[in-house]
Amino acid sequence: MQILLCFGTRPEAIKMAPLYHELKKNNLDVKVCVTAQHREMLDQVLDFFDIVPDYDLNLMQHNQTLNILSANILSKIDEVLTAVKPDLVLVHGDTTTSAMVALAAFHLAIKVGHVEAGLRTYNKNAPFPEEINRQFTSRIADIHFTPTAAATQNLLKEGIIEATIVETGNTVIDALLWTIDKIEDEHYSHLEIENLKKILPANKKIVLVTGHRRENFGEGFINLCDALLSVSARDDVAIVYPVHLNPNVKDVVYEKLANKDNIYLVPPVSYPAFVWLMQQSYLIVTDSGGIQEEAPTLGKPVLVTRTVSERPEGVIDGFSILVGTEQQIIKDNIVAILDYFAGFKNPINPYGQGDASHKIVTFLLNQNQNEDTGSC
């Protein structure tokens, strides 16, 4: 069985990295194609996880529209699929890369496996455009690797055949645990982490902040910044914000929060440095999906600056709180956690225990063996 892994963003690369290595460990014929929908941030992850792409479409352009990106992916991936002729294409999650690669593979009658399948908000504008990307990919995929029981149920309700659904947990937990092992090794050294150790106070509660969602551009980010500025007046708090490079985010954040006491604005950090920051944090404020999945393993509470999440398990189990983008609600929830959080009663991460890649590869090996022997 020849397998082609396709991804284009930093989150996809993180979540596909442990799967890539598990496929290689089991001697499966695997090739990697990156669209480089993100460039610099993607390259950092590829380097950290020791992945050298076989094909690099290098499609990142400054401020390109979703339609232009989609057209470029569809056109360029056609050349790769035609050359490689894989038996299976594996895509991940909810990106434009995943949706367009799945469509291109379908046009060429190539099977598609969807990793992290079945997440839903059923609101096409939240997250935008990810919700539709994910639903679109589900209509095409031949195999659906779901991270949770809720994701599985979403697909079953949509009429996806049960035999094509494989519940595995989320590969991001595999990547997180792999990263922790690496950065905690006494022989490992990372310049970014060492620099962060020098600038961050050791005696304060760290509030780690990230944000990048399109639906929060404008008023949403203004309200977030105002809430953070208010909280920063506390003497026991240090707010650390690796600021996304998108000018819709960066311009607002620096205008509101630059050169303020107890607020540390830093450029986007590499994945190992971010994992280290999560370990040091007292709580995390984010609109990211992956962080909602990672934080429970680290025992960190998450305030999600969204009104709806395709990852409800963390909310249901008490690891995350949806706070939206109202300034007072964000502030009140940050203060409540700073003052009263005493740890989680049930620390089991609903998104997985670090064996998702193994489960995916085991399924593929069994399927390959059944095809070779003609079994059903």
**What pLDDT, in 10s, does the model give residues 219-263?**
989 999 999 999 999 999 999 999 987 888 889 999 999 999 999
- pLDDT of 302 higher than 50: yes
Residues annotated catalytic, as ranges:
94, 116, 130, 212, 214, 244
CA distance 340 to 319: 14
CA atoms within 13 A on the CB side of 158: 22
Work out the pLDDT band at 374, boundaries 50, 70, 90.
low
- pLDDT of 214 higher than 50: yes
How confident is the model over 325-364, as pLDDT tens digits? 999 999 999 999 999 999 998 889 999 999 999 999 999 9
User: pTM for this one?
Assistant: 0.93
How confident is the model over 58-79, as pLDDT tens digits? 998 877 899 999 999 999 999 9
CATH 3.40.50.2000 residue ranges in the chain? 2-169+355-373, 192-340
* Burial per residue of 268-282, b for 16 or more beta-carbon CB atoms within 10 angstroms, e otherwise: bbbbbbbbbbbebbb
CA distance 356 to 335: 35
CA distance 308 to 323: 9
Q: Locate tokens 């479409």: which residue?
A: 57
Work out the pLDDT band at 373, boundaries 50, 70, 90.
low
- pLDDT of 376 higher than 50: no
Which residues does 226 contact at the CB level (< 8 Å), separation at least 6? 256, 327
Pairing of strands 165-167, 55-56: unpaired
How confident is the model over 19-62, as pLDDT tens digits? 999 999 999 999 999 998 778 778 999 999 999 999 999 998 87
Q: Are 266 and 241 in contact (CB under 8 A)?
A: yes
266 φ, ψ (degrees, to nearest 5): -130, 155
- CATH T-level topology, domain 192-340: Rossmann fold (3.40.50)
Residue-by-residue DSSP string for 145-170: EESSHHHHHHHHHTT--GGGEEE---
Q: Which long-range contacts (CB under 8 A, 24 or more apart) does 312-319 make?
A: 312/150, 313/148, 313/150, 313/350, 313/351, 314/350, 314/351, 316/350, 317/346, 317/350, 318/344, 318/345, 318/346, 319/292, 319/295, 319/344, 319/349, 319/350
Q: Are 110 and 137 in contact (CB under 8 A)?
A: no
CA-wise closest residue to 152 among 138, 136, 172, 131: 138
- pLDDT of 191 higher than 70: yes
CA-wise closest residue to 99 among 146, 67, 62: 67
CA distance 240 to 285: 10
CATH number of 2-169+355-373: 3.40.50.2000
